[in-house]
Amino acid sequence: MKNIRILLLTSFLLPLVSLSGQDVHQVVQQYKNALSKIQSIDCKVEQLDTFVSGHVWHYHGELSMLRNQSDSLFGFQFKASKSVGGEALYDGLSEFQIDHKEKSYELNTMPQSYIVGSPGGQLVVSELMQYQDETNTPELLQDEQYHILRYQYPDLEEYDVRQREKKIFLDKATFLPAKVIERQVSLDKKQVITRIISDLRLNAVEHQQAFVKNFLEDYELVIEESDANIHDDLLQTDVKDFQLETFAGQYISTRPQDSKVLLLDFWEVWCGPCVQSMPKVQALANKYESEGLDVVGVLMDKHSQKSAEKMLGKKGIEFKQTFGSQDLREYFRVLGIPQYVLIDQAGKIRKIYQGYHDEIEDQIQTLLAEAK
């Protein structure tokens, strides 16, 4: 533990020289220029967290990042694997917490910025992809190895958080971060987060492979117990009328047509349980279509249509397929997939299932019998 504390202290005891404002703008611009050339990276990250209690956590791992201009959350995707705490993957749509030892994963289909605080996500160094302080001009410090950008932030009086600052240590050759230190004082004690970047590789073709999720086909989706009753207040309510676009460019309403029972199947191409249960769903469509059942697939990632069509053709899946949306995801609270929603002939949501269950067929039979 003493060795860790010494390392942290030396970060603040380096002989530093403050330079002129003009030099600051030049270095910032060179930093931005270096960032603009990055499409993807992988690197090793070492992290040291010092808490107000005096405890220090020391861990390390590997980080991959892929620029994604269409991502409104971060502007990039990431995969971070930590020495303790598993692996986090964000693909621009969903977040995955992956346990390779147990061959399982948790799925968050409505991620927010807090996911970089997850065990794996803590290794994400956003400063490697984006310049984040456009409205805050830093002070420029120098030592033999680095240009050091020092940003200072206002105190948070209501939380008794003071002396907030961030230092970005830019390699003098590449103008890219080699280290990021965030520091603040809370309850008159220092809190310090230090991230040290090494073995940085840029724009390699194989970086795309880090975000291929084929291995999830053999992993089990774990649903937190707290999510078990998350759909209860939707049951027995009139379903909202969403117009779902089919693969062929037509539209289907979530309100049942012609007094039919509607089964919605929310899925993704990479989801092993989704694909494995599709033949069972197709069998339900074949068996009960003539009695008044409509089955509609809802593909949550529109960009995977070609892959989806190939898989559907290979497996002989013929029921109608549509595209999902964020509004649809939020309304039906699709926290895990596959998810199945049964809507009766009157347009009321009767059942929602997370994962395929044989009970689905029993409930279909019940709903069809009610209409006779």
3-class DSSP assignment, residue 267: strand
pLDDT at 53: 58
Consecutive 10-residue averages of pLDDT for the chain (372 residues): 33 48 86 97 94 78 94 94 88 92 90 87 94 91 94 82 94 97 83 96 92 86 71 93 95 88 92 88 96 95 85 92 94 92 95 93 94 68
Whether the Cβ atoms of residue 132 and residue 28 lie closer than 8 Å to each other: no
Whether the Cβ atoms of residue 96 and residue 216 lie closer than 8 Å to each other: yes
Query: What are the residue boundaries of the structural domains of the chain, listed by start?
Result: 2-214, 227-370
Please give the CATH architecture assigned to the domain spanning 2-214.
Answer: Clam (2.50)
pLDDT at 363: 96
CA distance 144 to 255: 68
pLDDT at 256: 80
CA distance 208 to 205: 6
Length of the chain equals 372
pLDDT at 185: 87
pLDDT at 314: 85
Q: Which residues pair with 297 in a beta bridge?
A: 265, 321
Q: Where are the alpha helices (DSSP H) in 1-125?
A: 2-12, 21-36
Q: Other C-beta atoms within 10 Å of 236: how many?
A: 10
Whether the Cβ atoms of residue 323 and residue 302 lie closer than 8 Å to each other: yes
Q: Kindly write down the DSSP assignment for every residue of 230-293, as one continuous string.
A: TTGGGTTSBPP--EEEBTTS-EEESSPSTT-EEEEEEE-TT-HHHHHHHHHHHHHHHHHGGGTE
| Tokens 């494995």 sit on residue | 276
| Tokens 């002396």 sit on residue | 163
CA distance 360 to 332: 17
Q: Which residues pair with 183 in a beta bridge?
A: 165, 192
pLDDT at 178: 98
pLDDT at 10: 34
pLDDT at 39: 97
CA distance 280 to 247: 21
CA distance 92 to 229: 27
| Tokens 């693909």 sit on residue | 91
Whether the Cβ atoms of residue 287 and residue 320 lie closer than 8 Å to each other: no
Ramachandran area for residue 188 (φ above 0: left; ψ -120 to 50: alpha; else beta): left
> Which numeric CATH code is attached to 227-370?
3.40.30.10
Whether the Cβ atoms of residue 89 and residue 213 lie closer than 8 Å to each other: yes
